[in-house]
Amino acid sequence: METIVVSPRGARRWRRGHPWIYRSDIEPSNAPPGVVRAEDASGTYLGQALWSPPSEISLRFLTTEESPVDGEWWHHRLAEALAIRDPENLDATGYRIVHAEGDGLPSLIVDRYGDIVVVQLLSAGLEAVRDHVLSAIDEIAKPKSMLLRNDASVRRHEDLPLEVDEVRGPIPEFVEAREGAVRYWVAAHTGQKTGGFLDQRENRMLMGGLAHGRALDLFTYQGLFALQMATPAESVVAVDSSAAALEVGAKNAELNDVHNVEWVEANVFDLLRAYEREGRQFDTIVLDPPAFARQRSAIDRALRGYKEINLRAMRILAPKGTIFSASCSFHIGRDRFFEMLISAASDSGRRLVLERTTSQSRDHPNVLTIPETGYLKAALLRAVD
Ligand code: SAH
């Protein structure tokens, strides 16, 4: 096995619990991508890692043990990841089996939607051991079919092609999954991420218990918050700018025999302004926008965007109404998110109680020493007035 030499700064980072070593913290090497041994400058063994020569993130730590990272190793780690999910008691057939660094398996995403497993291999080092990884997933998750959604743009930083590949097919255009009482279709080949947003599963089920009166689901995508809320609420307006996403939303409503959801194609910013002008009010409002800050440089602009939609939602919230507001921008931390909410509440003149703070579902483990594993934060607010 090839050996890569890591600088003292890189070694310190590992010991503090972060799995990434940057290019500036290793000695250059011509070793091909794959699993390598890492040592410090004095020759002390540090562990084994995924080696990605083309990437700024050169090494991703796998283990301190010296036993080989072979098929058996991947099998064992996959089994551990699945056991933590306790799928029997999850009350969902759509859930994440591996959350990359959050499960000690850097750059690997494995999501299950019913019979199908969707995989992303997001580094050159991982791609090099793809056969071991895919066999282990197959043995542990035992899916009927398996799809590689290797079209995530981060693969460009690894000099890897963007492609979608049926490892085991054929896979129909739509596969069925469930969370709580809601059944839904997943377009595994073309849907966002691996087909859906599993990180909001627990929050959607929370809103399925709390929604009341006239509900508004903003940035609905394929309608999963809307469908959870459709049972307890009188009616739901579900809004997205993507006609294709709304079409699947309507198909999902049909699958659940739900008839009180209205699907509205609009830009949320414009629609909220129009609702405010018309004096329309809602008793329950969900705000689940896409990441407005994809880079650090976008933070200020993103915060203005978040504040605008939250402020307008607070203004059209009926007396005693409930707002669930989320942000999935990694670059906007919990403190900034809550400062934004406080500022919006203050401008709105509403008296809002913070009933609960939540984050991503538990099948997306957020490791304290790896901030990148936790990105979703959310607040459940109730109007006193
Ligand atoms: N709430 C969804 C996930 C939302 S993802 C769920 O639980 O599954 C974000 C969605 O916002 C995408 O579907 C995208 O099409 C939509 N979107 C992005 N910008 C928008 C805008 N300005 N107005 C309306 N929808 C928008």
Residue entry with tokens 């909410």: 341
Does 61 contact ligand 1 (Cβ within 6 A)?
no
Cα(290) to ligand 1 centroid in Å equals: 6
pLDDT of residue 172: 95
CATH number 3.30.420.40 given to 71-175: no
The phi-psi region of residue 279 (left if phi > 0; otherwise alpha if psi is between -120 and 50; otherwise beta) is left
Chain segment 206-215, per-residue pLDDT in tens: 999 999 999 9
343 by Cβ neighbours in 10 Å (0-12 / 13-18 / 19+) ranks as middle
Residue pLDDT, tens place only, 164-185: 999 998 999 999 999 999 999 9
Our answer to whether residue 328 is catalytic in this structure is yes
Give 143 Cα–ligand 1 centroid separation in angstroms: 29
What's the CA gap between 298 and 263, in Å, rounded?
30
Q: Is 245 in the pocket of ligand 1 (CB under 6 A)?
A: yes
Q: Looking at ligand 1, which residue's alpha carbon is closest to its atom 10?
A: 219
Q: Round to whole Å and give the CA distance between 176 and 170.
A: 15
Predicted local confidence at residue 38, as pLDDT: 98
Closest CA to 181 of 207, 145, 214: 207
Residue with CA at minimum distance from ligand 1 atom 16:
219
The contacts of residue 323 (CB under 8 Å, 6+ apart) are 284, 285, 286, 287, 310, 313, 314, 317, 352, 379, 380, 381, 382, 383
Residue having the nearest C-alpha atom to atom 11 of ligand 1: 219
Q: Which residues of the chain have pLDDT under 50?
A: none
CA dist 236 and 218 (Å) reads: 10
Res 232: pLDDT: 98
Catalytic residue among 328, 332, 345, 379: 328
Determine how β-strand 214-218 pairs with β-strand 235-240.
parallel
Query: Best of 190, 241, 270 to mutate for ligand 1, by most ligand atoms within 8 A of CB?
Result: 241
Q: Residue 154: what pLDDT?
A: 96
Decide: 203 in ligand 1 pocket, CB within 6 A: no
Q: Examine domains 3-63 and 197-383 and report if their fold is the same.
A: no
User: What residue ranges do the domains of the chain occupy?
Assistant: 3-63, 71-175, 197-383
What class is the 3-63 domain? mainly beta
The CATH class of 197-383 is alpha beta
- Asked whether 63 lines ligand 1 (CB < 6 A), one says no
Instruction: Using the mean position of ligand 1's atoms as its centre, give its distance from the Cα of residue 383 in Å.
Output: 25
- Protein residue with least CA distance to atom 13, ligand 1: 221
pLDDT digit string, tens, across residues 277-292: 999 999 999 999 999 9
Cβ–ligand 1 distance for 288 under 6 Å, the answer yes
Per-residue model confidence (pLDDT) at position 140 = 98
pLDDT value of position 37: 98
Ligand 1, residues 184, 197, 221: which to mutate, most atoms within 8 A of Cβ? 221
Choosing from 227, 240, 247, 376 the residue with most ligand 1 atoms within 8 A of its CB, the one to mutate for a pocket test is 240
Cβ 269 under 6 angstroms from ligand 1 = yes
**Per-residue model confidence (pLDDT) at position 355:** 97
Query: Does residue 184 line the site of ligand 1, with CB under 6 A?
Result: no
The type of residue at 340 is M
How many angstroms does the Cα of residue 366 sit away from the middle of ligand 1?
23
